[in-house]
């Protein structure tokens, strides 16, 4: 158990998942939570990371900072996705050890799994093949951090744990069509089509790929629960254990946004990984985590948030 008096550093704490982790920590009773802004501390800069740890002296580190995006962003910036994610994680984990943090929680990604891993993905299958090509640089960079966590545990005794969240969605997600993930992209396209009276929207792929989606508040609760109760070297999936074809997801999003037009599929665009679903039994067995927000309810809340905040997002660039 992590005492409520411990100083907790959340990298990426102002971002999508990170901001919800901070709220989950506060809800659990933690008050000494430090959230460095990227404008104040570039985690790719070793000297900046050292200064950060010297100043804050955190007892617990949750590394949620990442360069993320959908298939399009991964294809356009593979070097950046590999370099920045690997470098940030390597330096944060090393600094946590050097500054004697008592625990480190590192967020990985479902993209680390092999392209043709049998679904649902078991943590034991993580190394049985190469990730799907469109997001392999991101997935491999994150998977390298698991190796680092286990190596630092073995050689230095660092209590580092590694979590593998599935595709996330929810309030405060990114809705830029050039870099967003599938759910925010669909929501934005549908909402704008309704407002403009457009008869159709264009979606990537053919709709046959399956995905599993975890509501971001559930994910944040899972991270905090693992921080408090999990202390083993084995990676752990965070998800719902339920997958849905992208074509069916598009119908759900259309229903929630009121879009009644045609959904046209651009088959020249990649589907990405054929299937994506997690075996979530380890999380429930090891620290009692189970997702509670159904997809329909989560989509409703996400659409509501987007409509209420889209003008603010536009004003902020």
Active-site positions read: 138
The answer to whether 273 and 132 are in contact (CB under 8 A) is yes
Residue 243 in tokens: 């997958």
Strand 243-245 with 210-215, pairing: antiparallel
**Which are the contacts of 317, defined by CB distance < 8 A and separation ≥ 6?**
none
CA dihedral 298, 301, 305, 308 (to 10 degrees): 160
Q: Is the dihedral of CA 173, 175, 177, 182 positive or negative?
A: positive
Of the candidates 33, 32, 29, 50, the one whose C-alpha atom is nearest the C-alpha of residue 41 is 50
């Amino acid at each position: 158990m992590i005492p409520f008096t411990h100083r907790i550093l959340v990298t990426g704490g102002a971002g999508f998942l990170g901001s919800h982790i901070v709220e989950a920590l506060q809800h659990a009773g933690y008050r000494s939570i430090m959230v460095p802004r990227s404008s104040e501390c570039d985690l790719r800069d070793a000297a900046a990371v050292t200064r950060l740890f010297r100043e804050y002296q955190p007892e617990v580190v949750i590394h949620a900072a990442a360069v993320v995006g959908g298939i399009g962003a991964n294809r356009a910036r593979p070097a950046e996705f590999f370099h920045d994610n690997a470098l940030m994680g390597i330096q944060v984990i090393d600094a946590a050890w050097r500054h004697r943090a008592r625990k480190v929680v590192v967020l990985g990604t479902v993209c680390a799994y092999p392209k043709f891993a049998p679904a649902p993905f078991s943590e034991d299958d993580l190394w049985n093949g190469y990730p799907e090509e469109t997001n392999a640089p991101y997935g491999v960079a994150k998977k390298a951090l698991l190796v680092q966590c286990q190596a630092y545990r073995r050689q230095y005794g660092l209590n580092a744990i590694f979590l593998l969240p599935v595709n996330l969605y929810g309030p405060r997600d990114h809705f830029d069509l050039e870099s967003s993930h599938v759910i925010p992209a669909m929501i934005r396209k549908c909402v704008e089509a309704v407002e403009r009276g457009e008869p159709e929207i264009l979606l990537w792929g053919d709709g046959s790929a399956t995905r599993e989606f975890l509501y971001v508040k559930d994910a944040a609760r899972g991270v905090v629960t693992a921080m408090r109760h999990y202390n083993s070297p084995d990676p752990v999936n965070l998800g719902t254990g339920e997958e849905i074809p992208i074509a069916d997801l598009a119908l759900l999003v259309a229903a929630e946004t009121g879009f009644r037009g045609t959904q046209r599929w651009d088959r020249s665009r990649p589907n990405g990984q054929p299937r994506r679903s997690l075996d979530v039994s380890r999380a429930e067995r090891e620290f009692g985590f189970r997702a509670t927000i159904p997809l329909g309810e989560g989509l409703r809340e996400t659409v509501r948030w987007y409509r209420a905040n889209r003008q603010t997002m536009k004003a902020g660039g």
